[in-house]
Amino acid sequence: MSQKRAGEFTFIDLFLSQFPRARVPVGPGDDCAVLAPSRGAQCITTDAVVEDVHFTRAWFSPEDIGHKALAVNLSDLAAMGSLPRWFVCALALPRDFSRRALLGLARGMSALAREHGIVLVGGNFSSARELSVTLTAAGELPPGSPPLTRAGGRPGDVLYVSGTLGEARLGLAQLQAGRRRSPAILRQKRPVPRIALGRLASRFASAALDLSDGLGQDLGHLCRASGTGAELDVEQLPVSRAVRASLGLEGALAGGEDYELLLAVPPGRTSAFERACLRAEESITRIGRLTPGPVGHIRVTGGRALRLPAGFDHFQDGGRIDRSKREG
């Protein structure tokens, strides 16, 4: 993490003090990290969390921000079926961001990093008007194991989703309404990357992606990449009573920031996949199937008419926080 202003070295040392020493040929403190070669293919992702887009400092603690910044990147690695290994972190800090807040951010991030065995190997600090945390994370696949992608689905494949849908959006609505604690708010602040499920699914699934912009939109991404349509049984969607009552099924489909996994599994592997998930105590729900087409077209079943929402778009909807304020 190279810096120009002497005062910033104090922040760098403070941040790094919360992470274990990286066991790599060259780690933090040089111009580049140097990593040992791997026998498996590498999966690389980058994502950012930005103040007033993904969080506000009035609602999120520094620990929440650090956790979420790493979690959204780990979720991408989970969707590929990869094992997390290394990450670099670029922090843009406003002038009023204190040493105590920086320690909190590092602690939230390092706790999740330890949980999933991923190591900080470098990064950068700079000043900015708003707080932003940009991570690039790397994972690796077992030798000879192909990655899960969005493009591998075929007509007839069964669709599964992990966990429950719409909780993060409900949590954001509750924060906007003045609440500060609830299970849904925890889902908004501390998403859980499904690393173990991604590794398990890599043995069975044909395609996958993580749900960052809502099932309604992300299922369309998988269909277009795979050249298929889809049939979605909305009565089977894993949606809590609280989400149904507050957002309805359409709101759950447009939720965004669930960071659950959407998986397509060939019909001949579904029984083995479900047994493996049961043994591993991974929560999955069968929600539909891929169809021959038209490409990208999603047909809703389950005995009711439902409009599939478009989901979240950074460049049309503005920030997630801003959108919540408008909707509230």
Model confidence at 5: pLDDT above 60: no
Determine whether the annotation assigns residue 52 to a binding site.
no
Q: Which of 74, 109, 140 is the last residue of a domain?
A: 140
The answer to whether residues 74 and 187 belong to one domain is no
Is 257 known as a binding-site position?
A: yes
Is residue 127 situated within a structural domain? yes
- 140 annotated to a ligand binding site: no
Q: Is 233 annotated as a binding residue?
A: no
In a domain, 152, yes or no: no
Residues of the chain above pLDDT 90, percent: 73
Query: What residues make up the domain containing 240?
Result: 158-305
228 is in an annotated binding site: no
pLDDT at 188 over 70: yes
Instruction: Answer yes or no: do 91 and 228 share one domain.
Output: no
Beta pairing, strands 83-93 & 119-127: parallel
Judge if 129 and 234 occupy the same domain: no
How large is the average pLDDT for residues 210-222? 94
Is 134 annotated as a binding-site member?
no
Six token digits for residue 257: 């920031």
Helix extents (H) in the chain: 6-16, 62-79, 99-116, 167-176, 183-189, 195-201, 215-226, 241-246, 248-253, 270-280, 314-317, 320-327
Domain co-membership, 81 together with 178: no
Query: Residue 327 pLDDT > 70, yes or no?
Result: no
Which CATH number fits the domain that encloses residue 115?
A: 3.30.1330.10
* Of 140, 171, 191, the domain-final residue: 140
Could you tell me which residues come within 8 angstroms of residue 228 by beta carbon, excluding any fewer than 6 positions away? Answer: 153, 154, 155, 157, 290, 291, 292, 293, 295
Q: Quick one: 74 and 185 in the same domain? A: no
Residue 241 pLDDT exceeds 80: yes
> Is 207 inside a domain boundary?
yes
Residue 321 lies in a domain: no
CA atoms of 10 and 5, how far apart (whole Å) = 10
pLDDT tens per residue across span 189-213 = 999 999 999 999 999 999 999 999 9
Q: 210 among the known binding-site residues? A: yes
Domain contains 248: yes
Residue 25 domain flag: yes
What pLDDT digit, counting tens, does each position of 290-323 carry? 999 799 889 988 655 556 655 455 445 555 665 4
> Does residue 64 sit in the same domain as residue 132?
yes
Q: Considering the domain boundaries, does residue 146 fall inside one?
A: no
Query: Do 109 and 90 form a contact (C-beta atoms < 8 A)?
Result: no
Whether 30 has a binding-site annotation, put simply, is: no
Work out whether the CA dihedral 274, 203, 199, 232 comes out positive or negative.
negative
In the chain, the number of structural domains is: 2
What is the token pair recorded at 18? 């919360």
Q: Which amino acid is at 127?
A: S
Out of 71-80, 261-270, 315-324, pick the least confident: 315-324
Domain match, 174 and 81 both: no
Q: Identify whether residues 47 and 134 lie together within a single domain.
A: yes
Query: How many alpha carbons fall within 13 Å on the CB side of residue 95?
Result: 1
45 is in an annotated binding site: yes
CATH number of the CATH domain containing 301: 3.90.650.10
* 255 and 187 belong to one structural domain: yes
- Residue 239 inside a domain? The answer is yes
Query: Are residues 177 and 116 both part of a single domain?
Result: no
The answer to whether the pTM exceeds 0.85 is yes
User: Quick one: 185 and 275 in the same domain?
Assistant: yes
Indicate whether 169 and 256 sit together in one domain.
yes
Q: Is 297 annotated as a binding residue?
A: no
pLDDT of 2: 40
Which one is predicted more confidently, 317 or 71? 71
Mean pLDDT of the chain: 90
pLDDT band at 324 (very low <50, low <70, confident <90, very high): very low
